[in-house]
Structures are given as C-alpha cells and as structure tokens.
Amino acid sequence: MTFETLLPYLMAAIFAMAFPLVTGYLVLVERKILADFQARLGPMRVGPHGLLQPIADALKLILKEDTVPKDADKFLFYLAPLLSVVTAFGSFAVIPISATLRIADLNIGLLLISALAAVGVFGIILGGWSSNSNYSLLGALRGAAQLISYEVALGLSLVTVVMLSGTLSMQGIVEAQFNQRIWFLFGNYGLMLLSFFIFLIAAVAEVNRAPFDLPEAESEIVAGYHTEYSGFRWALYMLAEYTNIFIICAVAATVFFGGWLRPFANIEWLAYPMDAIFPAALLFLSAWGCARMKLFPFTALLGISGLVFLIPAVATALSAPFWFFLKVSAVFYVLIWFRASWPRLRYDQLMDLGWKRLIPLALGALLANAIIGML
C-alpha cells in the first residue's frame, strides 16, 4: 500500500470526523454574518467573540434527552436522520479539492451528486412521516415537493455545463475549464450566466435555505419535518443540512468558477502573485482584523501561515485547496446574504417559480447554449 492508494481513505476519514465540528463553525460564521447584516454582534459570550459557541452547543446537545413520540414508527424514526447524513456525506467523494486531493474521480461525478441529493429526500419525508405529528407531516410533504420540483431545474442547468465540458467527471470539468481558458460561468459568450443564475436559485431551494425555507418555516409549522426530533438526532439533521450547503457551494465553485484552479490559470507570470501573494495578503489582512479584535493568538497563527505561503514550494502545493475553499466560502457568503435580504416565499409562489418559470427558462437556456456551442 502506497501513500497514493491510501490517500482517498484518509480523506474520507478526515471528512467524516471533521465535518461535525466544521458544521458547528459554519453555523457560528452564519450567525456572525447575519448579525453583521443586522448591525448587532451575534454570539459573544462563550469564549472570545463566541469562538467556543459550537463546542458549547455540541456538549449541550449530547446531554439532551432523546425523545421518541408515542405512536411513532420507531424504525423509520431512527433511520431517517442517518439516511440524511449518509447521503449528504456521500457526495463528498467526488468533489475535487486539488489535482490529486479527491476521494474518487468517477466518470459520472455530477450524476452521483444529483442521485444522492434525490435519495436525501427520503431522509426528510421518512423523518416527517414517522414522527406522527401534524407539523412534521406538513414539513415533510412541503420539503419533498420542493426538493423534487427544483431538482429538475438544477439538473437542466447542469446539462449546459456538461455540454461545455464534454464529461461528467468533476475533475474533468475543472480540467476542461483549464483547457478552454475560461471559467464556465462566462462560457458561450456569457450565455452561461443565465444557467448559473438558474442553478443558484435552484440550489438555494435544494438546500432549504431562505427565502425557500418553507419545510422549516418556524412561523407556520414550528420546525417542519424535525419538530419531534431532539438531542443529537436533531443535530444529525442540522449536520446533513449544512453538509448539503457545503456540497452545493462546492459544486457551484467547481462547475462554474473553475474549482481549484487559480484565476487566470493559463497565464504563466501570474502564478506567483495568485498562488502566493494573494493568499498571503488575505491572511495578513485577517491577522490585522484579529489584532483589532484583540485575538492575538489568531493574529500570530494567521501571520505565520501568511509568511509560509510566501515560500514558492508551499505556495504551489497549497494554492489549489486555498482557491477551492475561498470560492466555496464566497458562494456560502452569498447564500447567507440571500437569507439576510429576502423574506420567505408563499407556497404557491414557490411552486409557480419552480415549475412555471425556472423549468421553461432552464430549457430555453439549454437550447440557446446548444445552438451557440455548435457554431
């Protein structure tokens, strides 16, 4: 066994074990950014600037009672959150983080992600139905109908990407963007922008985020499909939700923003500025920000990692993951921005948008891209 053959399994293990913690911090980042949008501070009590909040939340959840409602279908009630988590984590396997850092480079990567997203609907509908609560049932039905409605538009908008790349492999899509010297966002003389906007709207609906968070609309149906869940079983639903958000951001970054490629990947002389100077500058900026917030250990950490990035060998090794995660974070920020900006849709508006607007528009974008691409 060489290191190369072990690497996928090592990455799988790291993903599976680290993501509960990463999810906690994604929640904290979201709360902080939302707070910033609303001109308040967000969590500040646990640790400096609330940095230990996720750990406190996890400890609290572990000590909570795990209740099962009377007349619930016990087997399905236990199975449903597991199903959600497993399908969400399975999609990780095909996301490339750099040329070599990936769990599996399947030739049907994009299809695997849509397939697992479709199976993920079962986690929601089984959880809601088995709880034997009216709110859960309503949330589950809404969730299932919404997910499958927007999956069609999502799939149709991704077809245009496949037309440009000529492959379904995620790694192949990134390489195609390198070979064609363009991010697919700007492909086909800008027509792909239309596909991207359809993808973005459908993606927000796919991960049940505001303004499409009807399955969990707390002002109407309490908490939707996970009303009856408590303790870590509830936390598994949150874990699955944030994992799905990460996956959809990673897919957007990979198929539209060039994945782990640095910007202007074909221009040789930009290699050092983009691989080393930009990340270092960003890290120094964060270090300065931490210094202003009096988080001096983080200032030291970020400053040192910024200096490390200036070493050419390290920069070439780390720039691909750096750009990948930077793009994912940018898309994640946009999703939070949506949540801070727009009120929730009404249910009939949601279904109208999905079926009567997005699907015809996606088909039109598909045909237009096909015609332009053949010229």
Q: Work out which of 12, 46, 301, 310 binds other proteins, going by CB under 8 A.
A: 12
Angle at which helices 231-256 and 170-179 pack, to 10 degrees?
Answer: 30
Torsional class of 190: left (φ above 0), alpha (ψ -120 to 50), beta (otherwise): left
Q: Which of 18, 5, 33, 10 is nearest to 239 (CA)?
A: 18
Query: Min. distance of Cβ 11 from other proteins in angstroms?
Result: 8
Stretch touching other proteins by CB under 8 A, among 43-51, 199-207, 235-243, 254-262? 235-243
The 94-123 contact track toward other proteins, x by CB under 8 A, reads: x--------xxxx----xx-----x-----
User: Residue 195, SS3?
Assistant: helix
CA 316 to CA 85: how far, in whole Å?
Answer: 34
Q: Is 139 in the site for other proteins (CB under 8 A)?
A: no
CA 150 to CA 118: how far, in whole Å?
Answer: 11
Q: Is 74 in the site for other proteins (CB under 8 A)?
A: no
Q: Is 286 in the site for other proteins (CB under 8 A)?
A: no
Q: Is 268 in the site for other proteins (CB under 8 A)?
A: no
Is-contact 89 15, C-beta < 8 A?
Answer: yes
Q: Is 70 in the site for other proteins (CB under 8 A)?
A: yes
Q: Which of 258, 83, 91 is nearest to 174 (CA)?
A: 258
**What number of CA atoms fall less than 13 Å from residue 249's CA on the CB side?**
21
The 8-class DSSP code of residue 110 comes to H
Is-contact 142 82, C-beta < 8 A?
Answer: no
Query: Min. distance of Cβ 199 from other proteins in angstroms?
Result: 13
Stretch touching other proteins by CB under 8 A, among 247-255, 288-296, 303-311, 354-362? 354-362
Q: Is 81 in the site for other proteins (CB under 8 A)?
A: yes
> 175 vs 326, which CB is nearer to other proteins?
175
Q: Is 357 in the site for other proteins (CB under 8 A)?
A: no
Query: Min. distance of Cβ 275 from other proteins in angstroms?
Result: 26
| DSSP state string for 251-311 | HHHHHHS-TTPPTTTT-GGGHHIIIIIHHHHHHHHHHHHHHHTT-HHHHHHHHHHHHHHTS
Q: Work out which of 28, 97, 124, 137 binds other proteins, going by CB under 8 A.
A: 137
Query: Min. distance of Cβ 193 from other proteins in angstroms?
Result: 18
CA 61 to CA 37: how far, in whole Å?
Answer: 28
> 181 vs 356, which CB is nearer to other proteins?
356
Q: Is 62 in the site for other proteins (CB under 8 A)?
A: yes
> 184 vs 309, which CB is nearer to other proteins?
184
Query: Min. distance of Cβ 304 from other proteins in angstroms?
Result: 31
Run of H or E residues at 229: none
For the record, the structure tokens of 133 come out as 């609560």
Q: Is 41 in the site for other proteins (CB under 8 A)?
A: no
How many residues bind to other proteins according to rule CB under 8 A? 85
Query: Of residues 186-225, which lie at the interface with other proteins (CB under 8 A)?
Result: 222
